[in-house]
C-alpha cells in the first residue's frame, strides 16, 4: 500500500501528524492523560516503516474488532459496527494495510469513522481515504487535538446520528468531547461502544471512569455519575470498550452501579475500610 509521504505518527501514541507541521513534542502524549517516553525524547515514525499484522475478529454478528500486532501506539481495537445502512468504524487503528482495508470493505460499505476521543485518532485520515473518503466525525471540543486534518472532516457536538439508528453521544469525562456510539445488535439488543469514556473492567461485570488510565487519575464522583447517566439514556444490553474488554450481560445496570460505587469511594464514604492510620 502506497501511503503519502507527509504523514508521520507519534511512536508512543500512534496518532497521525502532518510531517510539514510537526510540534516539538506530541501534545497528546505531553498531556497528563498520556505520557512521553521515560527518557523524555519525542520519537516520530512513518506508517511505511512498519509491517503490522491487523486481524479482523468477529465479536458478535454485525460487530468486528481490528486488532494490531507489533505496531506503534497503545494497541487500541477499532470496532466496525455493521447495520442495514452500512458500517461505522468506531475508534481507529494506529496502523493500516491493504489486506485490512479490503477486509473492512468486505463487511459492508463504511459510511463514517468516529473516534471516541483524541487517543483514538490513529491513522484516521489514511483510513478515510482508503475507504473512499468517508466522513471522519470529530467532537468539536476535541478538534484542537488534531495533528492532521482529514479531508472529509465533520465536526459535531451533543448527539449525532452518523447513520440511521447509529447515534454518537458526547458524554465528556475522559476528554471534554469523549463520546460513546449506540447501535443495535443483530438480536435487536442495544450495543454501546464506549472507547475510554467508560472502560470495562477485567471482571466483565463492572466499569471504570478515569481522566487518565495509564497515570491512574480518576474522575470525580459527580462526573462519573454524570457520564453514567448520559450513557443510561440509551437502552443497551452489551458494552464494548476500545481494548478487549466488554460487558456482555445487563451492561446498562452495570454502568449505573459502577458509577455509584466510584462516587461512594471518591467521596470518602468507605474510608473506614482503608485502615486506621491517620483517621480521627
Query: Which of 188, 187, 182, 186 shows the shortest CA–CA distance to 230?
Result: 182
Q: Contact 68/74 with Cβ under 8 angstroms? A: no
- DSSP code, position 160: E
Band of the pLDDT at 18, cuts 50, 70, 90?
A: very high
If phi > 0 it is left, if psi is from -120 to 50 it is alpha, else beta; for residue 41 that is: beta
Higher pLDDT, 61 or 4: 61
Lowest mean pLDDT, pick from 47-56, 65-74, 205-214:
47-56
- Tens digits of residue pLDDT in 77-124: 999 999 999 999 999 999 999 999 999 999 999 999 999 999 999 999
Helix 251-266 to helix 221-232 angle, to the nearest 10 degrees?
Answer: 170
As a whole number of angstroms, the distance between CA 95 and CA 7 comes to: 12
Q: What cell numbers appear for 190 in the block?
A: 442495544
C-alpha torsion sign, points 136, 141, 142, 144: positive
Q: What is the pLDDT of residue 96?
A: 94
Domain-wise residue ranges, the chain: 7-34+51-266
pTM for this one? Answer: 0.96
| Range 7-34+51-266: architecture per CATH | 4-Layer Sandwich (3.60)
Q: What percent of the chain has pLDDT over 70?
A: 99
Q: What is the pLDDT of residue 280?
A: 57
Band of the pLDDT at 3, cuts 50, 70, 90?
A: confident
Q: Contact 78/72 with Cβ under 8 angstroms? A: no
Sheet holding 246-247, edge to edge: 159-163, 166-170, 179-184, 190-195, 238-241, 246-247
Q: What is the pLDDT of residue 35?
A: 96
Amino acid at each position: 500500500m502506497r501511503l503519502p509521504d507527509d504523514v508521520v505518527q507519534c511512536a508512543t501514541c500512534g496518532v497521525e501528524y502532518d510531517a510539514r507541521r510537526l510540534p516539538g513534542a506530541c501534545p497528546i502524549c505531553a498531556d497528563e492523560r498520556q505520557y512521553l517516553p521515560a527518557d523524555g525524547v519525542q520519537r516520530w515514525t512513518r506508517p511505511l516503516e512498519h509491517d503490522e499484522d491487523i486481524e479482523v475478529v468477529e465479536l458478535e454478528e454485525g460487530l468486528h474488532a481490528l486488532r494490531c500486532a507489533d505496531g506503534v501506539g497503545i494497541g487500541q481495537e477499532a470496532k466496525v459496527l455493521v447495520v442495514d445502512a452500512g458500517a461505522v468504524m468506531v475508534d481507529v487503528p494506529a496502523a493500516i494495510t491493504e489486506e485490512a482495508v479490503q477486509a473492512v470493505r468486505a463487511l459492508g460499505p463504511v459510511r463514517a469513522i468516529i473516534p471516541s476521543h483524541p487517543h483514538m485518532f490513529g491513522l484516521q485520515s489514511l483510513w478515510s481515504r482508503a475507504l473512499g473518503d468517508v466522513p471522519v466525525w470529530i467532537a468539536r471540543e476535541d478538534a484542537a487535538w488534531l495533528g492532521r486534518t482529514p479531508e472529509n472532516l465533520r465536526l459535531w457536538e451533543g448527539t449525532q446520528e452518523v447513520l440511521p439508528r447509529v447515534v454518537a453521544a458526547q458524554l465528556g469525562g475522559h476528554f471534554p468531547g469523549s463520546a460513546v456510539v449506540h447501535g443495535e445488535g443483530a438480536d435487536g439488543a442495544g450495543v454501546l461502544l464506549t472507547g475510554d469514556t467508560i472502560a470495562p473492567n477485567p471482571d466483565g461485570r463492572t466499569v471504570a471512569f478515569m481522566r487518565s488510565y495509564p497515570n491512574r487519575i480518576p474522575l470525580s464522583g459527580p462526573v462519573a455519575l454524570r457520564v453514567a447517566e448520559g450513557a443510561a439514556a440509551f437502552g443497551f444490553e452489551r458494552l464494548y470498550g476500545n481494548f478487549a474488554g466488554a460487558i456482555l450481560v445487563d451492561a446498562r445496570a452495570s454502568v449505573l452501579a459502577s458509577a455509584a460505587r466510584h462516587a461512594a469511594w471518591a467521596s470518602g464514604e468507605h474510608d473506614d475500610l482503608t485502615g486506621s492510620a491517620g483517621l480521627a
